[in-house]
A and B are shown apart, each in its own frame.
Chain A
Amino acid sequence: MRSKLFLPLVAAICSFFAISANAQSYAITNARIVTVSGATIEKGTVVIRNGLIDAVGANITAPADAQVFDATGLTVYPGFFDTLTNLGLGAAPAAPAGGGGRGGGPVAAAPASAAPQPTSNSNYPAGLRPEEVTSDDLRAGEAQFEANRNAGFTTVLSVGRTGIFNGQSAVINLAGENVSDMVIKSPFAEHISFVTLGSGGYPQSLLGTFAALRQMLYDAQRLQEWEKAYAANPKGMKRPEADKSLEALFPIVSGKMPVVFNANTEREIIRAIDLIKEFRLNGIIAGGQEAWKVADRLKANNVAVLLSLNFPKRTTASSPDADPEPLETLRTRAETPKGAGKLAAAGVKFAFESGGATAIGDFFTNAGKAVEAGLSKDAAVRAMTLGAAEILGVDNRLGSIEAGKIANLALVKGDLFGRDKFVPQIIIDGKVFEQKEPVRPPAGGRGQGGGGQTPAGPSLSGSYTINIDVPGSPLSSTLNFTQSGSGLTGTMVSSATGSAAIRDGKVTGNSFSFTTTVVFGGANLDITVSGSVSGNTITGTVDSAAGAVPFSGTKNP
C-alpha cells in the first residue's frame, strides 16, 4: 500500500538508464575513487563495460565509445552492502529478532505465526523448517528497492525473519527485473533466531528452543550417515527416511553452509557460540549489540559479526510518574556506538547491517557515530563493502573497485557519514540509476519535528499547563504567553517556584524559546526553556545546570 503511493513520487525525482549492452561503455571521470582493496585515487577514472568494471586508475582515458560522466566533486565507492535485510520478500518489513535489543525497546520475539505460512508437507512445524529458501520467495521487480538504492546500497543479504529457522538467505543485487537477475548467491546461510513458536506447539519456551535445535542437528547428523551407508549398500538395511527438513541441515552440520544466529545480548551471543562449538558449525552472529563484550570469544572461535547499526536511542520522554530508566539502558545507549571500534581492535571480522532500522539513512550516520567512537573511517567503509563481501563469500566479484569485478558503484556527494550525504548515481551490474537532489528546506527548519516547517503558525499567546519531568519529583507549571511578532513575553508560574517573568522570548513558526530564573529548592536557578506547540499540545525541554528535562502539556481553554 505504502509503496504503491510512493512509486509515482519516486518516478518523478529519479530516473535510470541502462548502458546498452556491448555497444557502449560508461566512464566516470575526475572522481575521487575509494577502491577499498587498494589505495584511494584522488582523481581518476572508472570504466564500466558489460556490467563489469573494465578499468580503474588515475591515468585511464575514457574509451572512445564511452558515455562519460564528469564526477568532479564526487567520491566513488564500491556499492554498499546491508548484510541483513528482508528486502524483496513479500512480508511486511518487521523488526528482526536480532534487531533493536536492549535500550531500544523490547527485543521482539517474533512468533512464527506472524506471517501466513506457506503450506508445507514437512514433518516439522512452521518455524522449524530449515529447507525454506529466500530466493524462492523473492518478488521480481527492482522498483521495490528504490529507497535503498538512493541511500547507496547495491547489495544486500536477504532472509525472512520468522521462526527459529528463518530459512536460507540470499545475497542479492538491488537491480534487475527478474529474480534471476538479482541473485548473486543463494543459498548463503541458514539463519536462526532464539525464539519460540507462537503457534502454541513445541517449543513454547527458550528452554525448548535449544533442545529442539540440538535434537534436529543430531537427527540430521545421523540421517546423513544413514543415507551414506544406504547408498553404499542398501541390502538388508532399513530405508532411511526422506526428511527434507533434516536433509536441509546436512550442509550445516558438515560445516559447508554458514549459520547466522540472531543474537544481541552478551548471553545470547555466548549461547550461539556454545552451539557453534558443540556442533562445529560455521557460525556468524547477526545483531551483535553486545558483541564487543565477548570480542575475545568471537575471535578465538573465528566467528564473524553482522553488526547492527540500528543503535538504541531514546524515542520518547518519560511520563512524570514513570520510574527512571534503568542504568543498564543508559549504559547500553552510550556503549553501543563504541562496539564496532572494539571489535576492530580485537581483530573480529564484522560487516554492518541495518538491523531493521526504519530510517535507512541511519545506517550511514550511525556508522559515523561508530567512527566518532573509535572506529577508523577506512574500517567503517570496509565493513560496508569488501569486509561484507568477504563474510558473504562474494569478495571475488564484489566489494571493491577492481577491474573484472561486478560494476556495483555508489557515487557520493558530501561526507559519507554526514547528514548531508547524497547519492546522485548508483550503478548496479553496470546499470546506472540517477537521483536528483531534493530541494532542502531552509537552514534552521530541520530538527523541529515538522513543526518548524509550517509557515506562519497561529499565535502562541495563551495559557498552558505543563508537567516538567524532573526525575523523581515531577513539577506542574503554568506558562502564560503573549506573542507579538517573533517576540514572546509572559510568565512561568508554579507552586514550587512561584511566578517568574520570561526573558529573551522568541517564536519561530510553532517553536519558541525563552530564559528565566526560578527559585528552586531555596536557590536561584537559571533555566532555558524551548519547545513547540502543535494544536493544543505543547512539548519541549527545560535546560539548566542540573541537566535537561522534558515537559509536555496542553493549552488551557
Chain B
Amino acid sequence: MKKITVYFALLFLLLSSLRLPVAAQSKNSVLIKNATVMTAVKGTLESTDILVENGKITKIGKGLAAPAGANVIDATGKYVTPGIIDCHSHSMLDAINEGAFSVTSMTRTRDMLNPTDITIYRALAGGVTSANLLHGSANSIGGQNTTVKFKWGHPVEDYPIADAPPGIKFAMGENVRQTTQAPQPGRPLRYPRTRQGTIQTMRDAFVRARDYKQSWDDFKAGKTKVQPRTDLELQPLVEVLEGKRLVHCHGYRSDEHLNLMLLADEFGFKIATLQHGLEAYKIAPEIAKRGTGVSIFTDSWGYKLEAYDAIPYNAYILWKNGVNVSINSDSDERMRRLNLDAAKVEKYGGVPEQDALQMITLNPAKQLGIDKRTGSIEIGKDGDLVVWSDHPFSVFSRVETTLIEGEVYFDRKKDGQLRLDMAKERETLEKLDVNKAPATGGGPPRIPATTRQAERDDAEYGDGGHR
C-alpha cells in the first residue's frame, strides 16, 4: 500500500547503490535525426542528421537514410553536442592520494579504477563521456593519470582510452606544503614545507631521472655489467623528459605556475596543463608562448588562501591570449553540470558560443591528446554524442541521451524504467530471509550513521585530492 510511495521517495538513495545494467545494443549504426547540431568546430547546423557506424561518425547532413537495423534517435527540437570531457576528475577511483612521499610517480590511478562507481552513471546523465582521472594533489609529484571513457556497464579494461598519451599529476601550493593541515601525532613532517621546497623537489626528481636514464644508456652500451634497477618512480619522469608523458600540474598562484614552466624549459619539455590556475590570467602571454594548456573552474574561488586572487574573466583573458582553456569539475557532483560552467564563459567577457563549448569538449581533448578521436562532431571521429532537451547552455536543458562510440550509455526514458525495476527488485530482495533482520537481536538498536549518502555527496571537499 503505502510502501510503493515510500519506495518512490527513496529512489534517489537507491540509485547511489546501483550499477544500472544498460543493455548493450548493436554498435553497428545509430542515426540521430533532425537535430540542432553544435559541432564545436564548424558552427551550429540546423535540422541535421548524424550517422554513426561502427563507433565512428560517418555522415553529417540533412535527410540521411537509416541503414538497415540502425538505432534511430529522433532529435527534432533537440540539440546535439560532442560528449563533454572533464580534464580534472577523481571519479571511480578507490584511492586518490599516496601521501607518504613527496614523489609518488610510481603510483597509477589505473590500478584504482572502480567501474561500479555510481558517479560514472551520473556523469553520463550530465553528458560527460571522457575524463582525466588524476592522482590527488598531496605531493609535488603525484601518480600517473588514466584518460577514460565512461563505458558504464563494461568491464574495467574498456575504460582507459588505449591510444591516449600517458600523463602524470604534479602539484604545488598549500596541499603540497601541508602547512594548513594540523600535524598528525607521531607522524613526522614531510619535506617540502615551502613553495621553494616544492619546486626543488621537482628539480631533484628530474635530476635523478636523468641520472637513471644515463645508467640504462651506459648498460645498453656495454659500459656496465649489472643491469640497472627498473625504477617505477623514475621511469615515468624519464618519459616526461622525453616528451612522451603529459604533465598536469595542480596549482593556484601564478608565480608558482610560472616557476614550473621555467623548470620545464630548463629540462627541455612542455607542461601539458596548468590545473586550477585561478591566477593564470596574470601570466597568459607566458603560458601562450609555451603552448601550455590551462584547465580551470569558471567562477569557483575563495575556498582557501591561495584561491583568493581569482576573477571570472580568467577564461576570457586566457582565450583572448590564444591559450587552450578547458573547464573542469574536480568533483563528482559538479561534473554533471559542466555545460553551465561553459555557459558562464559567454557571460563573463563574451567568449563566442562555439569557443565556450570547446572549453568542455575539443580543448580538453587537445590537452589530453585525444582530439584526433573525440571532442567535436566531425566525420571520422568517435560517435561520442549528447542529445540535449534544449540549448545546452540553458539551465532548463537536460541530457536525454548520451552515446559513446555510438553505444547508448544513458537514456532518460530507460532510466525511468530502471528505477521502477530497481524498486521491484528491492521489494523481492527484502522479502528474502537472508535480508531480514533477526527477530531477537538482543543488542541495543544500531546508532544511525552520522552521515548519509546524500550528504556525503556534498561533503567531498574534505578530501585532500580535491582542489
Contacts and interface: CB of A to CB of B under 8 A. Distances in A.
Interface of A: 200-208, 210-211, 214-215, 218-219, 222, 225-226, 229, 236-238, 240, 266-267, 270-271, 311, 313-331, 333-334, 337, 448-451, 467, 469, 471-473, 511, 520-521, 523, 530-532, 534, 537, 539-541, 546-548, 550, 552
A207 B114 CA distance: 13
Interface stretch (B32-40, B292-300, B379-387, B428-436): B428-436
B434 A238 contact: no
B63 to A, nearest CB: 45
Contacts of B156: 267, 270
B223 to A, nearest CB: 13
B100 A211 contact: no
B308 interface: no
A326 B16 CA distance: 8
Interface stretch (B91-99, B170-178, B315-323, B328-336): B91-99
B448 A319 contact: yes
Contact of A552 (B9, B101, B445): B445
Interface in B47-101: 94-101
Nearest to A312: B434
A553 to B, nearest CB: 9
B111 interface: yes
Interface in B440-467: 440-449, 452-453
Given A218-B232, A473-B2, A211 B106 contact: yes
Given A211-B232, A330-B432, 6 more contacts: A207-B97, A215-B231, A215-B232, A270-B155, A316-B443, A469-B437
A13 B298 CA distance: 76
A315 B100 CA distance: 37
B453 A546 contact: no
Contact of A532 (B107, B115, B440, B445): B440
A252 to B, nearest CB: 17
B434 A333 contact: yes
Interface of B is mostly: loop
B452 to A, nearest CB: 6
Contacts of A229: 225-226
Contacts of A203: 98, 100
The interface size bin for chain B is 35 or more
Contacts of A328: 17-19
B442 A207 contact: no
Interface string B251-266: 0000000000000000
A271 B111 contact: yes
Nearest to A230: B226
A207 B108 CA distance: 6
B453 A323 contact: yes
A270 B94 CA distance: 14
Given A222-B229, A546-B3, A319 B440 contact: no
9 contacts: A317-B438, A317-B446, A323-B452, A328-B17, A330-B426, A333-B432, A334-B432, A540-B439, A546-B3
B229 A539 contact: no
B115 to A, nearest CB: 7
B18 A327 contact: yes
Interface string B229-244: 1111100000000000
B273 interface: no
Contacts of A548: 436
Contacts of A211: 98, 104, 106-108, 111, 143, 232
Contact of A327 (B17, B113, B233): B17
A310 B300 CA distance: 48
B98 A449 contact: no
Nearest to A268: B94
B429 A331 contact: yes
Contacts of B395: none
A206 B227 contact: no
B1 interface: yes
A226 B219 CA distance: 14
B230 A218 contact: yes
B14 interface: yes
Given A203-B98, A316-B446, A210 B435 contact: no
Contact of A207 (B6, B104, B437, B439): B104
Contacts of B434: 311, 313-314, 333-334, 337
Contacts of A327: 14, 17-18, 422, 425-426, 429
A471 B429 contact: no
Interface in B157-210: 184, 186-187
Contact of A317 (B187, B231, B445): B445
Nearest to A311: B434
Contacts of A449: 438, 440-442
Nearest to A265: B116
A316 B435 CA distance: 10
A238 B13 CA distance: 62
B99 A205 contact: yes
Given A210-B111, A222-B230, A324-B13, A531 B439 contact: yes
B1 A316 contact: no
Nearest to A540: B439
